[in-house]
Amino acid sequence: MVIVVTGLVGIDKKPYLAEVCRMARERGRDVVVCNVGQMMYAEAPDIAPGRILDIPLKRLHALRRSVFKDIIAQSQQHETVMVNTHATFRWRHGLFPGFDFDQMRQLSPDLFICMVDGVEPLHLRLMREHQIRHTLKDLFVWREEETLATQMMQQGTNAAAPFYVLARGVERDTAETFYQLVFEQQRKKAYLSFPMTHVAGMPEVLATIRRFRAAMKPLMTCFDPGDLEEAYLPYYAQQAAAAGRDYVQVQALGETVRLCAEEVRQVEPDINSQIYARDFALIDQAEMIVSFIPELPDGRPALSSGVERELQHAHEAAKQVYVIWTPNTPPSVFITQTANRVFHTPDEAIDYFRCQYPYTSDRLFE
């Protein structure tokens, strides 16, 4: 099995994929990761670390093609080969591709995964590891280009192979989800729907949502919109303006990062449009939606317009629709008529899913 893993520069996929391999090898799986960039540096030792994208495009393309010849040969020698690469680059040369269709067709991947991450950690990693000037707008554009180019790569090489968008994760990485997509493909795939900005500043409600997310992930392969959260950035920019500051201070990778408040205000339309498009894409790649509606401190249901739209999109896409409705106020007919089942507590839903969609993992520690 060949898995192509893409994602723009700055996601730092190498240690992430090493963790996935560790999980796989614990079960005796024959798995190898081909880090294309690392292999290109090994083939051209004269290039200084972090500077390979600065060399002339002709040499860059020749190096990549040489490395892919080796990867194609390796793919015949192992049970599972993960190819850590990029679909596009947006660098000093402008925008250019990171693959060749003829070699991808020879490789014949069985699975494509495009990894995405928030602009805060992307910005920090690029500042740390690469000498490239960029704006927040650049990162939003490049992230969208990388996703689209990966989908085009899949359509142009093996349209029958699954294609997934997967966030790297915020509170913890999503290596477990990646493992499930690759090695436990029989698991049911669910999109987790819950209010986010609607309940900001409500710690008890947020804690309930975190427990719901944590309880669902051992049962199914879950696509969690909370694994990439940027909607708070424009609010922080507003707070900065009110306080007379020209910067936004956020936490990323255990560090405090300063972003230009004006840049954040400029990318607000991009944040909103990408949340909208990405969440619907995650629903489309799932088999069902599981929507958790907690109760607000005043007793009202925490039913945001975003959750309502996600439920409608899933229903129209003929997905299984499950709703966990915890408020005492009964749900409206627009919920009950589109849901396959409505639960009144998370425990009731968990018991149902365990019975209805049983799956025994091959992981030793589960």
CA distance 225 to 1: 28
Question: What's the mean per-residue pLDDT of the chain?
Answer: 93
Distances (CA, A) of 198 to 187, 202, 325: 31, 9, 16
Beta-carbon-side half-sphere exposure of residue 40 (alpha carbons within 13 Å): 23
pLDDT at 132: 78
Mean pLDDT, rounded, for 98-108: 96
Beta-carbon-side half-sphere exposure of residue 202 (alpha carbons within 13 Å): 17
The answer to whether the 1-185 and 187-229+262-366 domains have the same CATH topology is yes
**Cα angle 354-359-361, degrees, rounded to a multiple of 5:** 125
* Cβ-contact 287, 356 below 8 angstroms: no
Mean pLDDT, rounded, for 50-64: 93
Confidence band of 363 (pLDDT split at 50, 70, 90): low
pTM of the model: 0.94
Domain extents in the chain: 1-185, 187-229+262-366
User: Which fold, 187-229+262-366?
Assistant: Rossmann fold (3.40.50)
CA distance 102 to 106: 6
Instruction: Give 159-210 pLDDT, tens digit per residue.
Output: 999 999 999 998 788 999 999 999 999 999 999 999 987 777 788 989 999 9
Instruction: Give 304-335 pLDDT, tens digit per residue.
Output: 899 999 999 999 999 999 999 999 999 999 89
User: Which fold, 1-185?
Assistant: Rossmann fold (3.40.50)
Q: Which of 267, 37, 9 is nearest to 126 (CA)?
A: 9
The CA-to-CA distance between both ends of the chain, in Å, stands at 24
Identity (one letter) of the amino acid at 130?
A: H
